[in-house]
Amino acid sequence: MADVAKLAGVSRQTVSRVVNGQACVVEATRKKVLDAMDELGFYPSFAGRSLRGGHYGCIGLCMFDITRAGNVATVDGLTSAARACGYAVTLTEFDMSHPVRLKDVARKLAELPVDGMVFNTNRAIEDFEEFEPIAGLPTIIISVRPHAACTTIDSDQKGCSHLAVDYLMRHGHRAIRHIAGPRSSIAAAERAAGWRDALIAAGVDVVEPLVGDWTADSGYELGAKLAQDKDMTALYAGNDQMALGAIVALRDHGIRVPEDVSVVGVDDSLQGTVPHNRLTTIRFDMRERGKRTFDCFFAELLGEREVKHILLPGELVERSTVACVS
């Protein structure tokens, strides 16, 4: 800073004011300081700023499978909200080579220049129940399960299944089958549990679901098996990809959708990628989930200490893959 001040012909205090974005510097002087910084290759110290202000202006985010559509939208929402508050996001993935422990991940994130952290835990976590956040670092967990010490937020996975099943029942369906996501997925387990609960509450027999892997290929394979089920009038798939695969399989076996079998998916991920998308589905606003997650973090950073459990409802998107039972 002394070198910048000398080259620009100003005081070190003026350089400090420019670096910290203070308004009490005339534009001509600000330009001289910025030009001197460029010439000397000087950039503000992240660590130095944190020592003076008490914050790094960065939040750590750790999640499984960054490439999945829902996670991409969540990151988009979180980073947009962070940017609006002058924050950056440090993003990393959980190491799946051994059981995931939040305590270990929190310790590693705490070594980075972050003011707090977010864990996106859509798979099993070994120490979820006993995890204690690090003092002074607000910690938010994206999870459908509540936590004693951390605010949790997620889409309402059971609720979306109730939406789907209730909608199918209003169209006269009772023999509603389910293709579930992989057993490693908490969301898949919650959606399957919601489907089961809705059927039991209505006094309808439950036929054990088939288990896929979220892909359209697995949906096709399981749809071919369900084509042999002569009682089925409706299919609720754990995501849109598997729903799409199942529809193709049913049609390949001479079963019309929706005239013979109605189909509902979850996530609305086909919209914008599959032309003339006709699938009725449950849409989650994953971008809003990311935004609300950052809002929870920022509230804690500002002193809020209330532990919350927030479930964001899904929205039924009616298209043309559901018909009334004839």
Residue with the bigger pLDDT between 53 and 78: it is 78
Confidence of residue 1 (pLDDT cuts 50, 70, 90): confident
Digit-coded pLDDT (tens) for 139-174: 999 999 999 999 999 999 999 999 999 999 999 999
* Chain mean position to CA 11: 48
Q: In this model, does residue 188 exceed pLDDT 80?
A: yes
- For residue 278, the surrounding DSSP H or E stretch is none
**Number of residues that this document lists for the chain:** 326
Confidence of residue 65 (pLDDT cuts 50, 70, 90): confident
For residue 38, CA distances in Å to 7, 20, 44, 267, 285 come to 11, 16, 12, 47, 42
> What is the rounded distance in angstroms from the CA atom of residue 231 to the CA atom of residue 130?
46
Question: Given this model, what pLDDT does residue 46 score?
Answer: 57
Q: In this model, does residue 69 exceed pLDDT 80?
A: no
Mean pLDDT within 123-134: 93
Residue with the bigger pLDDT between 35 and 95: it is 35
Q: In this model, does residue 255 exceed pLDDT 90?
A: yes
Average pLDDT over the chain, rounded to an integer: 93
For residue 84, CA distances in Å to 77, 78, 81, 87 come to 11, 10, 5, 7
Mean pLDDT within 72-78: 95
